[in-house]
Amino acid sequence: MIKSVEGNFDNPEVNELLTKHFIELRAASPEGSAHVLDIPGLKIPSIKFWSLWENEKLFGCGALKFLEKGHGEFKSIRVHDNFKKKGNGIKVINHLIEEAKKLDIKKLSIETGAGDFFIPARKLFSKCNFLPCEPFAHYKLDKNSIYLTKQIDND
């Protein structure tokens, strides 16, 4: 049974997972092309964050950023190292899609890296039917970024 907890930044396991996510993505992204949020960045009012637990073990996390009416962006999607390659990425994405529907978001977008480090993320989003799109919100064309989107109102 999956349990989701909104916020929960003070939980040491959540804090450790987010810190590792931030450090790895900053290291894998060229200067000026890193768009990962640190914990204070995830606490702003336009973002909702959830940690996901199974049998009292943290397996992942993710956030939704409100961009404009009906349009949201995925942020900080991460699967704990102990739970990778077991289908948990899809569980995180599906949870976020369900939360987006509750919040009346009809379109979801994501920016991810173009480098080899980000291949698993790109494969996951492709498997979840996200399609390439133009840069959205504040993003600009960048050879180090891939932009993806998905309509969810007819899911």
pLDDT digits (tens, 9 = 90+) for 126-150: 999 999 999 999 999 999 999 999 9
How far apart are the C-alpha atoms of 49 and 18, rounded to whole Å? 11
Distance CA 8, CA 58 (A): 11
What CATH number is associated with residue 128?
A: 3.40.630.30
CA distance 114 to 69: 28
Q: What DSSP character marks residue 35?
A: -
Give the structural domain span for 109.
2-151
Residue 8's pLDDT band, with cuts at 50, 70 and 90, is confident
* Reported confidence tier of residue 155, pLDDT bands at 50, 70, 90: very low
Token pair listed for 113: 């890296």
Q: Give the count of domains, the chain.
A: 1
The answer, yes or no, to whether residue 23 has pLDDT greater than 70, is yes
pLDDT at 147: 97
Asked whether the predicted pLDDT for residue 25 surpasses 50, the reply is yes
Element (H, E) at 122: helix 119-127
Please give the Cα distance from 129 to 125 (Å, whole number).
Answer: 6
